[in-house]
Structure 1
Amino acid sequence: MKLLLSFITAFIFFFQTDLEALRNSYAKSNLSNANTEAFINLAEKQSGSDAVTGGYKAAAQIMEAKFAKKNRKALVKNGATSLESIIKNNPNNIELRLIRLSVQENIPKIVGYRGSMKDDKVFLINNYSKQNAAMKSYVKKFVTQSKSFTDTERATIK
């Protein structure tokens, strides 16, 4: 029994480490092309099948269009479709909403993938207080640098 409990704990710890690495890489991905490529490579290597990992993989696929010579439209469409599907199945996951909002605010307007920005922004503001300390910190970092939030809205995220 102790062996099984140890195995499960080790598995959860290992999984959390991968997710933390994805979060950190994603947060830095917009700073440079090298960081974007590092995030894409890290996301592609992830074997996790949970919704949040899937959300980061979808975001990486959308970002990959930035560097692709061919099939750029297909990469964006497939990534966006995947992200929308994951969010549809997990509508109350704040991290998935944050991923979608960050993708939509950074994608060129001509692509047309911007329909959920207002909803996601309201969702983040309304559900921020219900999150654990780590997720609050992650959301707060995003909100402080986001172009979508006003100073008044940023003040509500403490």
Structure 2
Amino acid sequence: MGILSSVGALFFHFCISLACTNHTAIDKEKYYNVFASNDLNSINKELAHIQSQTFTEKPAFEGALLMKKAAVIGNPKDKLAVFKDGNQKLESSIKNTPNNVEFRFLRFMIQENAPGFLGYKSNMDADKSMLVTHFKTLSPEVQKAIRDYSKTSKSLSPALFQ
């Protein structure tokens, strides 16, 4: 019985350590509210929180928020550098998990609002199709974010997500 107790305790600590290091360490509702804002202070705070965490989806969420930050900072040289950094992280995440609908939503929002000179609009149709097709498979928080975004989107309408 002593051996089983030791094994059980070891297994418990192993499970706890996995739970603490491999979960989505962000509050999705808060993330999408910050993303929807143009408040640089809120964006920086959320970025700092994400950057301090360890979770599988971190590069995608960090990348998208960096790209959003690029839209609200003042210096044009900094804008491009921050955008490129975020772009690399988000696109790498999508390349590694091409069927992740939430990552496609992040990219869709960025592409729809990116200035034309960046040439970052080529995946909008495919991402939109994926969003509409797989909407009901997403978490309630992400569904809400998509519905909220569709109210101001030029390419999505709320009727698509009923």
Paired residue for 1:155?
Answer: 159
Which structure has more relative contact order (CA 8 Å, sep 6+)? It is: 2
Query: Which digits, 9 at most, give the CA deviation of each residue in 1:19-72, with x for residues without a partner?
Result: 21x54233343333x2x4312331233222412x22121122223323152332
User: Which ranges of structure 1 fall in alignment gaps of 5 or more residues?
Assistant: none
Matched, 1:72 2:79: yes
Assess if the C-alpha contact under 8 Å between 2:102 and 2:138 holds in 1: no
Please give the secondary structure, in 2, of the residue aligned with 1:148: coil
d(CA) in 1 for partners of 2:116, 2:142:
29
Please name the residue that 2:67 is paired with.
62
CA contact (8 A) 1:25 1:38 kept: no
Q: 2:116 aligns with which of 102, 109, 116?
A: 109
Contact kept? 1:40, 1:63, Cα under 8 Å: no
Judging changes above 3 Å, is the alpha-carbon distance between structure 1 residues 76 and 10 closer, same or farther for their aligned structure 2 residues? closer
Question: In 2, are the aligned partners of 1:26 and 1:39 still within 8 Å (CA)?
Answer: no
Structure with the greater alpha carbon radius of gyration: 2
Contact 2:35 / 2:68 at 8 angstroms: preserved in 1?
A: no
Task: Find the counterpart in structure 2 of residue 90 from structure 1.
Answer: 97
- How big is the shift at 1:110? 2.3
1:38 aligns with 2:42: yes
Percent identity between the two aligned chains: 23
Distance 2:135 2:59 in 1: 22
Question: Superposed, which structure 2 residues align to 1:130-141 within 5 Å?
Answer: 130-141=137-148
TM-score by length of 1: 0.75
* Conservation of the 8 A alpha-carbon contact between 1:62 and 1:79: yes
State TM-score, norm by structure 2: 0.74
**Corresponding position: 1:124 with 2:128:** no
